[in-house]
Amino acid sequence: MQTQLIKRSLLLTLGCICGLVNPASASEREDVAMLDEVVVTATKTRTTLSDSPAAVTVVKAEEIQNKNASRLGDVLDQIPSLYLRGGALGQSQGTVGTSGMSLRGIDQSRVLILLDGQPLQDGGSGKVNWRVPFVEDIARVEVVPGAFSSLYGSNAIGGVVNIITKQPDKREFTASVKKGWGDASGEDASIYFRDKMDNGLGFAGGLGYQNRDSYVNEFVVKTPVVGVPGTPVTGAQATTTREGVPAYLVGDLGATPWTSTHATAKLTYDLNARDKVYAGVNRQETRQDYAQFNTYLTNTATGAPVSSGILDINGQRVVLSNYDFTLFSFLPLHETTTRYSAGYDGTIGDGYLLKADIGKIDRIYNFTLASPTATWDSGAGTLSDAPNDGLDGTVQLSLPLTDNHFLVTGLAVHKETVNQRIYALSDWRDPGSVTAVNTGYNGHSATTSIFAQDEFSAMDKLKVYLGGRWDNWETRGDSFVTTPASGKLYPTRGTSAFSPKVSAVYKPAEAAVVRASFGRSFRAPTNQDLYVTTTSRGRTTAGDPNLQPEHGTTWEVGGELHVTEDTRITATYYDTQLTDLIYLKQVDAANSLRINAGKAKISGIEFGATTKLASWLALDANYAYINSEMLENAADPLSVGKRLTDSPKNIAGIGLTAEQGQWTGALSARYAGHVFFTAQNTDTVEGVPGSYDAYTMVNAKLGYAFTKNVKGTIAINNLFDTRAYSYFLLPGRNVTTGMDFSF
């Protein structure tokens, strides 16, 4: 019934868009046309937002300044249908910069994240380090939902997020310092400069530093077991697991302080008024350290703290060990990403546009883990070291075929390499205490592609896009274990995929747009999916070198309406079928296997509205209903009919921005519904450690310009001090003050 009502609402909105209401006066429509924004991601060429064959959302540099943004996720907090948790958000604390994320219910591994057109997905796991983009260097972010493998190949099943950095096309100097309190305790500082000389040479460079003291966000929960109770203790707090099993909260893992540094430099040179060459390098490094764990238990008789042993809690037997406090400590952690890029953007021949670029990403990623026999201060452990890199090259030619036809075509190459080693440590607290190599694997994947998209006007008000991409994917790898000595060699194998797409954009009136599209997409397995066996949080997951790519089929219909010059509403209905899903088959309580097992469906609707309530006050609101369901899963039959993980049913956001004289302000609220961690949807309990809660977060920021060049700000995140978990405890109310300087 709910889905039928949503479809009726969509049809009503589309009826308005198609001209059943008078959307705007003639003069207003002309203003709208003149103000239409230009985007590039949806078509790989410059096109207006209204001509784009997708419901593109753009976040510009001016909007980023109104946010308390220290990481990419903070920039995207009001994107329709986008769900973020963990390391994507600047104040959230996870063990790494990666995160849980979904766009229209499709998780991060199936959404392509680009930095200036280069994939950010890790060459081993396919995850994204959301700390890599330097916020001060972001010119805009374009979020393009829907099937886009026809232009971008693997991973673009759910859409594309393209972070576009600033170019040295004007003179700008900025510097900022920030100080945080509460769960944002720490300091930020940055400096950024760009300029363009009269001879066509441009330069941009910047440095950034972030330090966080962190806060307690991960807890130790123990469930009673059958048997005779042991030493009586006090201090345990009654709770449950996220599945509702009675348990006790007995301690926490303490804070995990971290530092992050950024450095970027880029050069451009104008060969003439249209053609230019460019090159750049940027580096991001994160280091995360220890803090002492906390036990809440004391010996009833002596009052001494207790962190191990067979215990008596309220007459029940609870077994606690030092490993309970070290098992989840992926520390110390070191993560570095260095990106190199170069290219040419210009013309060739008579009216042909040529763009050629090449980029390379080198990543360092390592952390230590304690062994079951180790204590917090010492003992054996392991060092996981997984350096990996990615290489991308694209040559794109765009040309008019006739007055009504515009063709975009190109060649692309993508390569990934990872070389993981697990080393034995004599002291898990010292990454330099390596004694031997335990296990390792090497993975190599390469995709060679050709793509084309024809844009033509079927009539004055109708524009059609026909495109497709052929990708040839190959992979090879090997793995080894030293004790007992064994190894496996996986020979080169591969497959190809063709991803077609057709889209139409119809403009029944100057201020109204209707869009429809149908496309197929795919995602190749990662090197980790194929070749590695990992152990994380007590569970071992084995890869399968014979995995095949996943596939998606998506259709959508929607549009937008400019009711007045300052008021715009959007609506989209979409339907995606996923097949050959790479899925974790649970072999037993401690072991899982990656297999191609699933078939799923995701459908939903999203609404958006922007308007000016006054000359100094703007409103932005959005709502998404997402219906995801596992349809087939031979590996886990109990997951059939259940929601997909990391896929909330409802997401809503509303934001107000104001500018009056020397004052600026922003107030935003974001609601995210409950998400499931387990495929069988057994984790229904909220408000306990490890749960994935529905929550509403309200953030505010106020700024005052003391002079033209100096501005002070104060920001409050989680204004109402909402206590919620997204596995980790989310930050409570925290305050950040800052000074911004610009010249």
Question: H or E element: which one contains 534?
Answer: strand 533-536
pLDDT for the residue 381: 92
Cis check: omega of the bond before 145, within 30 degrees of 0: no
- The H-assigned helical ranges of 40-89 are 61-65, 72-75
pLDDT for the residue 4: 44
CA distance 600 to 597: 10
pLDDT for the residue 98: 57
CA distance 102 to 691: 17
pLDDT for the residue 15: 41
Under DSSP, the state recorded for 136 is G
Residue 447 near residue 472, CB atoms below 8 Å: yes
Residue 556 near residue 540, CB atoms below 8 Å: no
Cis check: omega of the bond before 332, within 30 degrees of 0: yes
Q: Which two tokens stand for residue 642?
A: 């259940």
pLDDT for the residue 331: 74
User: What residue ranges define each of the domains in the chain, with the CATH number in brackets?
Assistant: 2-213+262-290+329-742 (2.40.170.20), 219-252+293-321 (no CATH)
How buried is 165 (Cβ within 10 angstroms: 0-12 exposed, 13-18 middle, 19+ buried)? buried
Amino acid in position 39 = V
SS3 (DSSP) at 404: coil
Amino acid in position 326 = T
Q: What are phi and psi of 53, to 5 degrees?
A: -85, 35
Backbone torsion region of residue 235, taken as left when φ is above 0, otherwise alpha when ψ lies between -120 and 50, otherwise beta: left
pLDDT for the residue 635: 78
Question: H or E element: which one contains 34?
Answer: helix 26-35
Match 């889905």 to its residue by tokens: 3
Residue 556 near residue 577, CB atoms below 8 Å: no
Cβ contacts of 350 within 8 Å, gap of 6 or more: none
The model's pTM is 0.92
pLDDT for the residue 383: 94
Amino acid in position 711 = K
Task: Quote the radius of gyration of the chain (alpha carbons, Å).
Answer: 26
Match 């764990």 to its residue by tokens: 293
Residue 469 near residue 154, CB atoms below 8 Å: no
pLDDT for the residue 30: 32
CA distance 245 to 238: 11
pLDDT, block means (10 residues), the chain with 743 residues: 42 38 34 63 92 94 90 90 81 59 92 93 86 94 96 96 95 96 95 96 97 92 97 97 97 91 97 95 91 93 96 97 81 90 93 94 92 88 94 96 91 96 93 94 96 93 96 96 90 96 96 97 93 72 90 97 93 97 79 86 97 96 97 89 94 97 96 94 96 96 97 96 93 96 94
CB count, 10 Å around CB of 351?
A: 9
Under DSSP, the state recorded for 524 is P
SS3 (DSSP) at 682: coil
